[in-house]
Structure 1
Amino acid sequence: MFTLSRAETQLSNSVTLYNTTSNISGTHNTTINNIPAVSVPSTSFLPIYAGLVGALGMLSAVRALLFFNVAVTSAERMHNSMLMSILQAPMVFFDSNPVGRILNRFSKDIGIMDELLPQAFFDYLQLILIVVSALLVSAVVNPWVLIPTVPITAAFFLTRHYYLQTSRDVKRLEATARSPVFSHVSTTLCGLSTLRVMKRQDSFLEQFHHCLDHHSSGWFLFISCARWFQIRLDWLCAAFVATVAFGAVLASGSVSGGLVGLSLTQAIMLMGVFQWVVKQSAEVENQMTSVERVVSYTHLEKEPPLILHPRPPSNWPSQGRIQLDNVTMRYGSKLTPTLNNVSVIISPGEKIGIVGRTGAGKTSLIMSLFRLVESDGTVMIDGYVTTEVGLNDLRSRMTVIPQDPVLFRGSLRQNLDPFSKHSDTELWAALEEVQLKQVVEKLPEGLETGLIEFGANFSLGQRQLLCLGRAILKKSRIVVLDEATANVDPQTDGLILRMIEKRFADCTVLTIAHRLHSIIDCNKVMVLQDGGIVEFDEPSVLLCREGSVFRNMVGDSAQFILRMRQVLQERRRSKTPGPGHKLRNNTMTPVGD
């Protein structure tokens, strides 16, 4: 009766175990309640955190895209502005600035503006915010840190100011020393064939090493200045970290250990970031010298306007009459004049030979005619004062065949007809006249044959004939020959002279010549000396005049005198006047006299 069944026994054990567990659980809960509770973030906040991180990534990407877009757009605009300023600069600018200096602006300085400057500036803006936030965290944790931070900051600004004053000048020195390297390389490439013929490779290599050493010394000095600055920054950062550490020790009683650790972590991080941000700030200022150099080339002196209203008629000049009244020209305000009160009248259709010693003013006379250099006095062409005509109208209505033929990279068609004004039939006709049609027909691409730089895939004589063909197509009433046959063989020389006599018979032709036989058929010869006209008459008259400067220049050139007599005898027998002359009482008299 007093015996319990097996089920009752298990139930009794379960009740006892439950009471024991309840007592233990109560004791455990009491212990937990004595410990401060730590809040665990709910999973409901995870979408918010993910959204913030995603928004931060998107804003960072948009910020970077906008920043670099603005930087590249600004660099592009400055490049275009500099290019237009260079293209509109007067010729005096190119005489006083070597090509290496200009190439330096368009290569190295533009490269810095495109690549290095945006990256350095972007890093500087981003890192400066990190530095400011680290300083604010340290100041909030322990405000006493601000007291020693003030002299450290003052020392930093003084060091930075001292460094930038030096580094900017060193950077300008390095950039200036880079220009001779570009000039030397450009000159060497242009005259490479001459160097090899004269066996002057070692001499030019030595000159290149000298220019390179001069530039490297400036670059090494710039790097040394940067290293000096970085060492001083390390010292200042170490002083700041020590200040934060001592401040944390002194404030250990009032500040929790977690905040002290946070401030020390920010201060140690500041050591690396601070040096980098200061280095980037200095780099930005140094690279701004490239912007300074580019901006200086955007404010160059410009040539007169390209178009002036009212514009001359489309057929101007229709006659080719040139008049110069007291024209004085100099290449600089403080330089002696290269033309001195030159006054002359050239009648329509006359063929004028211009001769003189080197520096007499032959080229200066042509430059004043085209307004490549502004001159005092009056230059009139068919009744229009050239200073009242836009440069486009003035220069496009006259033709020049220079001593060194000018051809551009592109097709043969583009070099013959740059503005696409003529048909293929006219182009082939011009090539046939200068005896280059068969040469071009043998080329696989014909008129579309590509010309390399300076037309080097054609011989010098062929290049000169191409320039002559371009002049024939232009059909100008005024043609200037600037020693056009100086660099060609006698056969090509004769061909060019015959073509000029045939194609430009009704044109006013001004011929600058050192080979005096090329001006034997001219109506008049203009002899220049010391910037003035000393003689201006027919060749036969000047040759027969005692004490004539032209006769002294000819000297004992029997071939020239014989050829001159033959021409005069042929004209007397045929009683045919030369170009631009008419018969008066059975004698040849220049038109307009």
Structure 2
Amino acid sequence: MFGLLSCIGDAIIIIVGAKYLAATLPIAILVLYALQKFYLRTSRQLRVLDLQAKSPLNTQLLETIEGLSTIRAFHWQSAMTKSSLGLLDRSQRPHYLLLSIQRWLNLVLDLLVTVAAVLLVLFGVTTKTSTPGNMAIAMYSALGFSGSLANFISSWTSLETSLGAIARLKQFMQVTPQEIEPPQDTLVKPSTSWPSRGQIDWQNIEAFYTRKEGGGDPVLHNISLQIQPGQKVAICGRSGSGKSSLLSTLFGLLDYSGTITIDGLDISHLSKQALRSGLIVVPQHPVLFPGSLRSNLLYNSDQQGQMLSDADIIALLERLEVWDAVCQSGSLDTDMTDLALSYGQKQLLCLARAILRKDDSKIVILDEAMSAVDHHTEELMIRALETEFNEHTIVSIVHRLNTVRKFDALVVLDQGRIVEMGVPGELITENGQLKRFQNGRKV
């Protein structure tokens, strides 16, 4: 807006110096319109190319930072330097062209102002309708008119580019598939204490990775399973047998037919936010967020953060044998990137986060949480689950049968179907499907 007002003000002052110059104003407006239209189209395309050219360079930079130890170990410094310089050269080409058209714009505007100054002097001398003072002011304004025009057109181009970015974001939102929320008339808002009992019931479930209307093959076939409050249930099977798919239906991540209820509420009538926030999860790979250790442990419970003292959090980390490793690098307020923790210790932090949320929900989901940790860490996690979640419903995907002997039930899946279900001790010793999996080292 300031650039536009500056251009209008300078044009008025110049026309006051030579009134006949106003006759050329429509022609000047047409020339400026054609100029900005050509410059805008070219500049917009070059800005997009500039962003696309810088993306590989930024990716290379981040990957290099993360893999510095590997690069040094294999003596790849010269190859990485050559690759990075090549990406840097390619990323500068659109930027150089963008600077070139900006210099071209300044040249054309200078020529346009030069023509206006010549006409100003010509009309002032030949018509003698202006005073020397007005002519002096008009000539002074003409000297800065080129800069005002350049600033105005550059600002207009930046505005158009920003609007184009917003348009691309809007288009991305329109073409990107979104999760389907239940209709407002069937939406159910659970109580703040839900789920307070921990009962889970799958009834006649068929699940699809693509929507069933599209003709996709089901990954789960007629699954019916009921888990009582406080029951500990382990799920095992071959790779691709449907273990993770079964848990994905519980979080509303897969399209399915049938009915899934938690504490008597059909999850298809719950919002995805309410459903997922009502379940405590320990994932297969540790998920830690940017920020301090404290914010990672208490990220989703402000009231709990106010109730828990540092001593309570430290006592929990000591029971999980993580606090000594934390103390070597910092404290609860230390940023996660500054803590030197192993994979197993990070997984123990995820378990600690789940323990701190144990009063928020009665259901704990373990998605192969102990599949990639050592034996000692596994023992720590098993002991913590037995003591901290004694009254909770636990559903765990397992690969090591020694972790499920104290569970109440064991469910064996194969090709998306339940093939065996019973007490873990009996299923492991019987000559059934699970025994064949164990002998074939598939579980």
TM-score by length of structure 2 reads 0.76
**3-state SS in 2 of match to 1:450:** coil
Q: Which amino acid aligns with 1:533?
A: R
The aligned residue for residue 274 of structure 1 is: 149
Of structures 1 and 2, the larger Rg is shown by 1
Query: Paired residue for 1:239, among 102, 107, 115?
Result: 115
User: Which of the residues 415, 418, 432 maps onto 2:297?
Assistant: 415
Answering whether residue 6 of structure 2 is matched by residue 127 of structure 1, we say yes
1:552-567 to 2 correspondences below 5 Å: 553-557=437-441
Q: 1:245 to 1:456 in 2, by over 3 A?
A: same
The alpha carbon displacement at 1:509 in A equals 2.5
**SS of corresponding position for 1:527:** strand
Counterpart position of 1:55: none
Shift in alpha-carbon separation, 1:434–1:375, aligned structure 2, 3 A: same
* Preserved contact between residue 403 and residue 486 of structure 1 (Cα < 8 Å): yes
**8 A contact 1:353–1:512 mirrored in 2:** yes
RMSD: 4.2
Structure 2: unaligned runs, 5 residues or longer: none
1:355 aligns with 2:237: yes
Overall identity of the aligned pairs, in % = 24
Structure 2 letter corresponding to 1:156:
L
- Relative to structure 1, the CA distance from residue 453 to residue 217 in structure 2 (aligned partners, 3 Å threshold; closer, same or farther) is farther
SS of 1:495's equivalent in the other structure is helix
Bigger Cα displacement from structure 2, 347-356 vs 536-545: 536-545
More displaced, 151-160 or 495-504?
495-504
- Which structure carries more relative contact order (alpha carbon 8 Å, separation 6+)? 2
- Give the AA of the match of 1:130: G
Shift of 1:127: 2.1
| TM-aligned CA deviation for residue 208 of structure 1 | 4.5
Residues 551-581 of structure 1 show CA distances to partners (whole Å, capped at 9, x for unaligned) of 66544459x9xxxxxxxxxxxxxxxxxxxxx
Paired residue secondary structure (1:451) = coil
Query: Quick one: structure 1 residues 288 and 434, their matched pair in 2 at CA, closer, same or farther if it must change by over 3 Å?
Result: same
Q: What does 1:75-474 correspond to in 2, within 5 Å?
A: 122=2, 124-138=3-17, 141-143=18-20, 145-193=21-69, 196=72, 208-252=84-128, 259-290=134-165, 292=167, 304=181, 309-312=188-191, 314=193, 316-330=195-209, 339-341=219-221, 343-348=223-228, 349-357=231-239, 361-372=242-253, 375=256, 377-408=258-289, 409-412=291-294, 415=297, 418-421=301-304, 422-424=307-309, 427=313, 430-431=316-317, 433-436=319-322, 439=324, 449-453=332-336, 456-474=339-357
Are the counterparts in 1 of residues 204 and 223 from structure 2 also a CA contact under 8 Å?
yes
Give the conservation status (yes or no) of the 8 Å contact 1:180–1:211: yes
Secondary structure of the residue aligned to 1:172 is helix
What does the per-residue CA deviation read over 1:108-131, in whole Å, with 9 as the maximum and x for residues that have no partner? xxxxxxxxxxxxx54x13422333
Cα distance in structure 2, aligned partners of 1:315 and 1:288: 44
Distance 1:455 1:351 in 2: 37
Deviations 1:23-82 (A, max 9, x none): xxxxxxxxxxxxxxxxxxxxxxxxxxxxxxxxxxxxxxxxxxxxxxxxxxxxxxxxxxxx
Aligned to 2:376: 491
* Equivalent residue runs for 1:39-78 within 5 Å: none
Cα distance in 2 between the residues matched to 1:240 and 1:274: 13
What letter matches 2:346 in structure 1?
R
CA distance in 1, matches of 2:75, 2:368: 29
Query: What residue number does 1:480 align with?
Result: 365
Q: 1:164-201: per-residue Cα shift (whole Å, max 9, x none)?
A: 12211222332344444444444444455555556555
In terms of mean alpha carbon deviation, does 147-156 or 416-425 score higher?
Answer: 416-425
The letter of the residue matching 1:286 is T
Q: How many residues align?
A: 425
Q: Secondary structure at the match of 1:167?
A: helix
Q: Does the 8 Å contact 1:142/1:251 carry over to 2?
A: no
Please tell me whether the aligned partners of residues 16 and 134 of structure 2 are also in contact (alpha carbons under 8 angstroms): no
Distance 1:377 1:354 in 2: 22
Letter in structure 1 aligned against 2:336? E
Q: How far is the alpha carbon of 1:487 from its aligned partner? A: 3.3
Q: How far did residue 272 of structure 1 move?
A: 4.3
Q: Return the TM-score normalized by structure 1.
A: 0.59
Shift of the alpha carbon at 1:542?
A: 8.0
